[in-house]
Structure 1
């Protein structure tokens, strides 16, 4: 068991030129990482259905009494982000569901772009749908990137703490991001950040020090009654510094995959989409009473 890690507190400057550059960098980074994921097609949707997730006839078992809701990241969607993890959890006996959120008009496939507070309302409604279909009192949430951070708004401000047992965030931008040194160049291109931010409001919300991030973390990182796990990679090039992903609270476990498997080279996208070391830790977080050691061979 790893000791709890405290967030580093690094937030970055808040000057307007720096903010504009950061927003532009966020767009560039997420566009590049999104292209690493397979495009959503009818074939992929069929694969999702045949793999057993988003099956609203699924009834949770005594062994796994809570449905698992998967929350994709920025520029992700309900299928592409979960082509490996969803079947992995279904095979372990879970009822698994995934949603699309943060859609913008005229933008197909790439979601998680709208204002994050509004996306949290979509998550709230989806959890209600899943609970209604399965009869479960509570669900567990597993999210990647923005999908690991956005649910905290639902938990804190929309009553989600009464409906959620655990939140597992894989590479979540819990305290915003600075995107390393990339932003030092982008302020020299005035107007680019503002133009892109108008089209993708969620990116502005994810800037370290933004009004949204400040509100989200005011008064503490966690809410009572919810079990939190953060799974990070030290090679994350999008949410940086990577330790800003960590949460601080009485029921938090912060994990670095390289502490479990030193040769794990996953970065921001792959740790959430294909990393079996991270996924074993997800399974441990969902069923801590039966957790087993995670190493390079899990």
Structure 2
């Protein structure tokens, strides 16, 4: 084996292992995903007979993160929103052949096309004119491609990104090591294209962010935590432009130490802030006490 290949493969394995370890999916979660998928409708979401109410006229589409799936990423937030009267839906996207449970790994632009198709289905079934999107990590960034390049702005009222990879990540500096291993980035991208699409400065992100972060007619909310160890630096998650509200979790509750996974999966303070962003006219102040709200 050439010396260069012997160097590339360990680094690719290191970065992939780090992303898997830091991502929302775990071996235990994967093993439990099948029975949970069957239980998801019992928890009230992905109920295709749900009709939006006058109080909540838009369906909510939840978009999981890298290594996530339509069930495990949303076992906390989806029921929280259903219990507050929303029609809630979630999808799997970015699947790779032969890789079960861990999704969001395919090319991000192709995943945006899957989201487009799913939103069309939700709107057709519910009769709503527009949907609201809530995404975690890649799921908070990827919809921006749909909004900007696939006509999504006509179908979406608001995008709420929880720890979104809007400008990619340097993964606590690990991605900067790639320059010392020629071919390493290509090796990782061949395995899971979404990983290299989300490296800060990637061609995908450069195109996405050219000409401005937002599109007219859509409200944007970004919720970030200073303890994020995956999408780093955390301030790279924030957007600029009209209709944008950037929120640092610790400004809402200084005692909240949620990191990249917990902020979207178990943090009820964040759930409260998401509910307020979905219905700003009736939003209540979010603070540490919102954990019991």
Conserved 8 A contact 1:24-1:197: no
TM-score (structure 2 length as normaliser):
0.90
Deviation at 1:197, TM superposition (A): 2.0
Whether contact under 8 Å (1:37, 1:80) holds in the other structure is no
- Pairwise CA distance, 1:22: 9.2
Q: Is 1:239 aligned with 2:231?
A: yes
1:25: how far off? 6.1
| SS of structure 2 residue aligned to 1:231 | strand
Structure of greater relative contact order (alpha carbons < 8 Å, 6+ residues apart): 1
SS in 2 for 1:147: helix
Show the counterpart of 1:219: 211
- Matches of 2:285 and 2:15 in 1, distance apart? 35
Higher helix proportion, which one?
2
Q: Deviation digits for residues 135-177 of structure 1, max 9, x if unmatched?
A: 0000000000000000000000000000000000000010111
Q: In the alignment, is residue 31 of structure 1 matched against residue 20 of structure 2?
A: yes
Instruction: Tell me, yes or no, if the aligned pair for 1:76 and 1:110 is still in contact at 8 Å.
Output: yes
User: Residues of 1 paired with 2:204 and 2:111: CA distance?
Assistant: 13
* Corresponding residue for residue 207 of structure 1: 199
**Does the C-alpha gap of structure 1 residues 184 and 125 become closer, same or farther in structure 2, counting only changes over 3 Å?**
closer
Whole-angstrom distance in 2 between the partners of 1:209 and 1:24: 21
Greater displacement, 139-148 / 200-209: 200-209
CA contact (8 A) 1:66 1:138 kept: yes
**Which consecutive unaligned segments of at least 5 residues does structure 1 have?**
1-19
Any residues of structure 2 matched to 1:244-255 within 5 Å, and which?
244-255=236-247
Show the counterpart of 1:138. 130
- Kindly state the Cα deviation for residue 181 of structure 1 after the two structures are TM-superposed: 2.9
Residue 99 in 1 paired to residue 99 in 2?
no
Matches of residues 39-54 of structure 1 in structure 2 within 5 Å?
Answer: 39=30, 40-54=32-46
Mark the runs of 5 or more structure 2 residues left unpaired by the alignment.
1-8
- Mapping for residues 29-178 of structure 1, pairs under 5 Å: 29-33=18-22, 34-35=25-26, 38-39=29-30, 40-178=32-170
SS for the counterpart of 2:80 is helix
Q: In the aligned structure 1, how far is the partner of 2:208 from the partner of 2:10?
A: 23
Superposition CA RMSD, Å: 2.1
Query: Quick check: 1:154–1:160 contact (8 Å CA) kept in 2?
Result: yes
Compute the TM-score of the two structures, normalised by the length of structure 1. Answer: 0.89
Q: Distance in 2 between matches of 1:176 and 1:21?
A: 23
**Shift of residue 193, structure 1, vs aligned partner:** 4.2
Asked if the contact 1:21/1:186 (under 8 Å) is kept, the reply is no
